[in-house]
Amino acid sequence: MVAAGSSNDLGYHAHRVSLGFPSGVSLAACEAVPVTTPAVSGCSDFQESLPVATVPISVDYVITVDEDSPNGGIFSARVVYEGLGWVALAFSPTGGMIGSMAVVGLPEEGGVGKYNLGGYSANQVTLTDQQTLMDTTCVQNATHTTMTFSKYLKEEGEPDIDPSATNFFLVAAGSSSTLGYHTHRESLEGLSLEVCEEVALPLMGTSPTSAPVPTTDAPTRAPVVTMAPTISPTRDPIIETAPQNGGVVNCSEFQVSFDVADVPIRLEYVVIVDEESPTGGHITAQVTYEGQGYVAMGFSPEGRMIGSLAVIGLPDEDQVNKYNLGGYSAGAVSLADQQTLVNASIIQNDTHTVLSFSRHLQEEGELAIDPSGTNFILVAAGASNALGFHAHRASLGLALQPCVEGALASNTSSTPATTTVEIDTKQSMFKAHGFIAALAWGLLAPMAIANSLCRHLIPGQGLWFKMHRGLNMVVLLLTIISVALVFKALNDTSNGEPNHFQPRDGSLGKHHTIGLVVFILVILQSVGGIIRPHVPEKGEEPSTARVMWLWGHKISGVTLLGMAWYQCHSGLVLYAQRFVQDQDYTNVFWGIAGTIAAIGIGGKLHGMVTIEPEADPSKTEDPPAEFDLSDGEDATAHKENVCGDHGDVCLEVLEV
């Protein structure tokens, strides 16, 4: 009898066999005869490798044929996964997962078994009735997982391994040692296997080579991003169905793959329906962004961002989660309560960022995905790896179609179609809002203030005041129009919950709130200018109310201008972030506003230097009552009387 245990401690045997010799047969002694020619080694070593190309898995095997056995011989294999997780090698009649028989190794349990693959969910993967594997191991070190086993070529109720014909294999590995969705998988189709033939006996005096033992240090592969194909941004946006093997649908592959129009993003997906599952099945998707930044795929009830559920991958944090999109700011994007994604990953190299995940079709409290109808899908990519405004985004209407494993490609229904969803983002309203506000506060308001500061340089009796008052009235009118436009735009793009004046997160988050303050102040400033205290009569001192009004008018005017400039700057930045294809006009704004401000300050300094203190007209900010334009009286005599010997400079000052 020979036996081997399931562990190194003495206990029940894992394998045993009892051998009996026929009656009358005696054992013969071996006579050692020296040999001078080395013998050729037999088939106890792995002889060939399966051509795995796109996943970090290697498969070595050896086949020995026994024509006299009803099992036809033995297939021995070693599967090495460059990672930590369960590993599997499946034998398929068509190349698809469903209907295959898989040998699965679970490292934590140390077990290797045969499983029937009846579907894509874990509860559809069941142990077979025949657990006839031999020499099974599943071991793990710090970097690799290795499974070995031997299996009969022919077993009733299982796909045959035919060494004289083509065979279909599947290799896979999980993200953990618990059986679940695979992290890596590849389908190997139409393979012709090599049969090992013993050509000589082992050398006399040596032990036969033992069964292959997993190495503790598998060969190291160069780290590569295997899921980032090169995308041509100018490629025509077309729908491509995944290649079908011999005309047969393989649901372990993406069935739809296409470049999203006008953005450097490629979308691939497959939809699996499971009518017996409460979740209805799942969608597996991969979003490839030609660039570096966060990547997101959202599911929307009507094609808009707000109210959608998004799957977002953050490369720096190496996290993929579901988020509720409650608004356009980062503070309105919150983690969903149910984090039920499967096989989620976000990877990045020097040129691409790739998000992949599987999501249930139906989950309580979330928007359901219709596997046989049109769904609104959002795709987006950020300008950086940190969650913020997107650099690229698109809204699509996808006519989904469930994948039918093993069906003939020619018998499937119409090719899945995609249409771009025209979502009115009210860009024209936001643009008009920004342009009108910038015109009012970057050009006209600085000109109004500069007129007051440079009054001694402006010819014409009281002309500066007339220009100052007129420009401010235009600023008021344009501000009202600008606010009305953005109020309407926010109403139309926020599903009835615009939160117009609520502050948002971030350095630009106070734009909405400060906008309300500016709107109120400009109205008060304009009304205050109209109902200002009267100009003192000749020889009178300005009243206390007049002095207080003068100072209040100046301080509130400067404060209002500063807040409005913040509004214009933050608004232009927000516009550039929301509509990234447009140019950022902040430099243009500051160039114009800064130039006018510099002229006004220079004019004020000029007046302070050139006008004598004795000829101080500061008691009146309006034209003196005697020659106010409104009364039309000639003030020449009065000016000459007041100025006396101060000359022409005083006359010029008093004209204002």
Residue in 147, 145, 185 with CA at minimum distance from that of residue 55: 185
* Segments in 440-535 forming alpha helices (H): 445-453, 463-492, 511-530
State the pLDDT at residue 540.
Answer: 78
Does 41-192 match 427-655 in CATH topology?
Answer: no
Per-residue pLDDT tens over the stretch 177-216: 888 878 888 888 878 888 887 654 333 333 333 333 444 3
Q: CA angle, corner 57, sides to 228 and 121, nearest 5? A: 80
Give 556's DSSP letter. Answer: H
Q: Which CATH class is domain 427-655?
A: mainly alpha
Q: In sequence order, what are the beta bridge partners of 390? A: 382
**359: closest CA among 404, 322, 324?**
322
pLDDT for res 544? 85
Phi and psi (nearest 5°) for 285?
-135, 155
Q: How many CA atoms lie within 13 A of 395 on its CB side?
A: 14
User: What is the predicted pLDDT for the residue at 416?
Assistant: 45
In this structure, are residues 60 and 46 in contact, taking their beta carbons and an 8 Å threshold? yes
Under 8 Å CB-to-CB from 423, ≥6 apart: which residues? Answer: 303, 304, 395
Q: Spell out the domain ranges in the chain.
A: 41-192, 240-420, 427-655
Residues in the chain: 656
pLDDT single digits (tens) 98-143: 889 999 999 988 789 999 988 777 778 889 988 999 989 999 988 9
Low-confidence ranges of the chain (pLDDT < 70): 18, 20-42, 198-247, 328-331, 406-425, 493-509, 577-584, 612-656
DSSP reduced 3-state for 256: strand
Max CA distance (Å), the chain? 154
Which pLDDT does position 598 carry in this prediction?
93
Q: What fold does the segment set 240-420 form as a domain?
A: Immunoglobulin-like (2.60.40)
- CATH 2.60.40.10 is the classification of domain 41-192: no
| Residue 400 pLDDT | 87
- In angstroms, rounded to a whole number, what is the distance separating the alpha carbons of residues 405 and 407? 6
Number of CB atoms found within 10 A of residue 351's CB: 13
CB 624 within 8 A of CB 635: yes
Which tokens is 447 given?
A: 């000109």
- Measured CA to CA, the distance from residue 267 to residue 258 in angstroms comes to 6
The pLDDT of residue 238:
32
Alpha helices per DSSP H over 531-585: 544-578
Q: What are phi and psi of 286, to 5 degrees?
A: -135, 125
pLDDT at 608: 87
Q: If we measure between CA atoms, which residue out of 159, 183, 187 comes closest to residue 243?
A: 187
